[in-house]
Amino acid sequence: MMKRRLLTPGPTMLPDAVYRAMGTPFPHHRTEEFRAAMRGVLALLREFHQTSWPIVPLTASGTGALETAVINLVSPGESAVVVRGGKFGERWGEICEAWGIRYTPVDVEWGKSVDPAVVEAAFGRTPGARALFATHSETSTGALHDVEALASIAGKHGVLFVVDAITSILVHDLPVERWNIDVVVSGSQKAFMVPPGMAFLSVSPRALEAARRSTSPRYYFHLAKAVDALAKDDTPWTTAISLVLGLAESLALVKKEGGVEASVRRHARAAGAVRAAMEALGLTLFAERPSNALTACYAPAGIETGALVKKLDMDFGVRFAGGQGHVKGKIFRFGHMGYFDDLDLLGTVHALERTLEAMGHPVARGAGLRAMQDALWQGPER
């Protein structure tokens, strides 16, 4: 008998209350009962994004929200600067390309964090740039990027600043309004603890103006239409009713835990303990400045991480993610986001030690566990 544990960087595990909320007959979406639930969810989302600006709930995976941001803020033929430090940074560029938006890429070696001076220089080569697109926690590499520094560069050049924060909201401090980030994108299946299917965009007044001006052809992904509907606690189209009801439960749990601050502290504590365990096992971390949402590690020589991921799942029901792009097979990614506890982390390290040994990489049995336990014991309380 085995429990299933999703320790991937999304989708993540869900609290029981979320399953229950999504499993009951739901109200129609154009009713006061549902509008009240949506109002509550959006109020908590604004609190967790640390902003009073509107937050648009979108029925789409995270990528739908990335595309929404691009086409509503920048029109075909205009230009932008894109930070590409991994798969998700590259996605900003791919969306621009699909829509005929010219962009100057700032390429960052995978695992490294962007140097703000290089972004600054890119603006020198991009006259008339409209926007800067970046990723806060780059989930393909596990690297965290300094969006506060990027925000001040965007401000200096008077361009819109758009951040993919899909694995950083509730995981890292991201004061959207104080740092003046025009659009921040988040997604349902990461630290929000609901299934995939919804994404969210916080929209600054400047971003809303740009959305009204954009000449990109749009129909479903129309940001201004969505913001206008919010005034009536509504969405332009049928929303993912069951996910909203799930979110009402999961966000209430975050609030009860102590809100953003407690959530960020919990993720930092877990990430510190996971990194200590990996290092004690002799593994090398992939990211120079690691995100607290996941830990990316090189596998020991001779171990292909696709096989490692499969074996962990088969033998222990623990699911990691492998590497993407050119680090496929070379790194594995251990997600620690949303609904997990100390026992999930400790059990996972036990499973990893046994799997590495079974795959021919001798480990000092218990070394990872011991380091993790020490870190959890000494670290700040949950």
Ligand X SMILES: *Cc1c(COP(=O)(O)O)cnc(C)c1O
Min CB(196)–ligand X separation in Å = 6
Residue among 187 and 347 whose Cβ is closer to ligand X: 187
| Position 373 contacts ligand X (CB under 6 A) | no
Residues 6+ apart with CB under 8 A from 330: 298, 299, 305, 323
Helices (H) then strands (E): counts for the chain = 13, 14
Residues 6+ apart with CB under 8 A from 332: 296, 297, 299, 305, 308, 309, 320, 321, 322, 323
Min CB(103)–ligand X separation in Å = 17
Q: Using the rule CB under 6 A, which residue among 135, 186, 235, 305 binds ligand X? A: 135
Q: Using the rule CB under 6 A, which residue among 5, 7, 10, 202 binds ligand X? A: 10
Write the binding mask 62 to 81 for ligand X: x where contact by CB under 6 A, - elsewhere. Answer: xx------------------
The span from the CA of 128 to the CA of 159, in Å, is 9
| Position 191 contacts ligand X (CB under 6 A) | no
Q: Which stretch binds ligand X (CB under 6 A): 60-68, 295-303, 339-347, 374-382?
A: 60-68
- How many residues of this chain bind ligand X (CB under 6 A)? 13
Strand residue runs (E) in the chain:
5-6, 55-59, 79-84, 102-107, 129-135, 137-138, 143-144, 160-164, 183-187, 198-203, 294-298, 318-319, 321-322, 331-335
Residue among 196 and 300 whose Cβ is closer to ligand X: 196
Write the binding mask 80 to 119 for ligand X: x where contact by CB under 6 A, - elsewhere. Answer: --------x-------------------------------
Cis amide bond preceding 11, omega within 30: yes
Q: Using the rule CB under 6 A, which residue among 8, 167, 204, 235 binds ligand X? A: 167
| Position 166 contacts ligand X (CB under 6 A) | yes
Write the binding mask 233 to 272 for ligand X: x where contact by CB under 6 A, - elsewhere. Answer: ----------------------------------------
Min CB(94)–ligand X separation in Å = 12
Residues 164 and 67 sit within 8 Å (Cβ to Cβ): no
The span from the CA of 87 to the CA of 140, in Å, is 6
| Structure letter (DSSP) for residue 283 | P
Q: How far is Cα of residue 128 from the mean position of the Cα atoms in its chain?
A: 30
| Main-chain dihedrals φ then ψ at residue 81, nearest 5 degrees | -115, 135
Q: Contact positions toward ligand X, by CB under 6 A?
A: 9-10, 61-63, 88, 135, 139, 164, 166-167, 187, 196
